[in-house]
Every structure is written in structure tokens, then in C-alpha cells.
Amino acid sequence: MIQTTVEDPTKEYTSGSYPNQEQPYPGLQSRMTPIPNCGEDTYKGSGKLLGRKALITGGDSGIARAAAIAYAREGADVAINYLPYEQSDAEEVKKLIEDAGRKALLIPGDLSDEAFCEQMVDQANQELGGLDILALVAGVQHAYKSITDIPTTFLHKIFAVNVFSLYWTVKAALPYLPKGASIITTSSVQAYSPSPDLLAYSPTKSAIVAFTKGLAKQLISQGIRVNSVAPGPIWTPLQVCGGQLPGQIPNFGQSVPFKRAGQPAELAGVYVLLASNESSYITGQIYGITGGLPIA
């Protein structure tokens, strides 16, 4: 039997500062310094999702990439959605899924388009031969110093991607989802303790919390569970594409009790738990992975 080591969680992964950097939206994980750790070299599966069929939005990078890798190594076939600009990152994930011996499906497109959300779900169901996990992770984030700086066009965009796409995707998927299916949304600590510079972003995450809790009550009669993961400061492309105000990247994540940002790999296990039968008595819950920040 392999013995596991006990590590100080405040010292794991990247505990220092980050080089100041920025990219145009939506950015590429492969161009970040350091590249986020999504469990490519560390996640080991144990068959918890054998034979399952998952659709993951935002699966080219960050948290969703970590979930895609974990799902594949747990035995699921995986479809990932992403923007066309992110194709190179998505191709890396495709190879990782296939290296795990599972089917990988790439579906590029813009979640702010209702028709695309419907087409994405139909394609995933048809080409995977079913659908029983929705991991809705993709999101838009942009920091603004003042409410007067937030363009109305951006408000329409961020609510369309972060909130409306959940409605469109779930509505399209419901005819395909069997009893025992799992829907996992991605909210944020920002829903509970909003930063002043994320005034456009945090209300969308509050909406996701309410969406999750209400949908869970609605769908449990159909045998479908709905839960959410609420990350704190996690090192992903969102942060370097306008998600932080200029100059904030070097100290990103150091204000939480852990004194460091989280890595996407640290969320993968919870996405697996909520997708698997191990969470058979869990619905309507919000799982905070925040480096010690409270979500209540």
C-alpha cells in the first residue's frame, strides 16, 4: 500500500507572489507564468465515474480543465466547451482525456448565444452517447475601479455568460438527463463577500447560488441533484485577462487565511465528489474552496 504524506496546506503549490502579467481576453493558460496546476501530473483516478458522460463548460483551462482531467481519469467520457481563441489549450485537454482512455469531444462556441447552448448540449449528448453530468464552470470576470467605469454592454455580456447560459444549458439538457444525473454550477466567494472592484462579477455569482438552490428543489423529484462549487482566489486565466485591477497580480490570493492563491487542481476532487454516487444524499449545497474565507 502506498503511504500518503501529510503536508502543510499553506505551503503547497505556489505560495509566493506572481509575476505581474496581463493578456487580452479570453487569454491562454499556456501563456501564464506560472502555468496553473490543473492536476495534469498528479490526479489519479479510482473509477468513481466509470461509464459516465460529462459536459464541462470552460474546459480548456483553469478549474474546468482540472475537472475535465479528473473526470476522464475517473472513467468518464468528456465534452468540453471553450471559445475558439482557446483552441490550443483545448487541444491539450483533449489529449489528456484521450490519454486516460476516454472519449474527448471539443465544442467551441460562445455561451452568451442561446442557440449555441442548445446546439452544444445536443452535440454532446449525441456524440458521447448520453449525458449525465453537467459541470457549468465557464465565466467572465473583469475588475473595474468604479461603478461608473462599467459599460452596459459588459453587464449584458457577463450576465449572459455567467447566468443566462445556465438556464439555456440546463433547459436543453433536461430531456437527456437520467435519474441520478448531477448538475454542478460554479459560484464564488464573491457571492458572499463581494470585492468593490468586482461589482459586475459578484452579483452574477449571487444569482448562481440562488439558481442552484432553487433548481435543486425543483429537480430532486426527477432524481437529479444540483450543487455548486464556490472558489476563492484561484490562479486561472480569468485573473490575467482583466479579472484583477492593474498591479494586483503579484499579491493575488495573499489576503486569505492561507496567504496564497489556490490552484485549479485543488478543486478537482470536489467536482468529482458532486458528480459521483458518493454524493447521493447531497443537493442544493454550496461547497466553498476559498483558502479559509467564509461563505456564510
Catalytic residues: 201
Q: Which of 164, 76, 175 is nearest to 116 (CA)?
A: 164
Query: Do 220 and 174 form a contact (C-beta atoms < 8 A)?
Result: no
- Rounded Cα distance, 165 and 112, in Å: 6
Determine how many CB atoms are found less than 10 A away from the CB of residue 278.
Answer: 11
* Whole-angstrom distance, CA of residue 178 vs CA of residue 24: 40
DSSP string, 130-167: ---EEEE--------SSGGG--HHHHHHHHIIIIIHHH
Sign of the C-alpha dihedral, residues 120, 124, 130, 134? negative
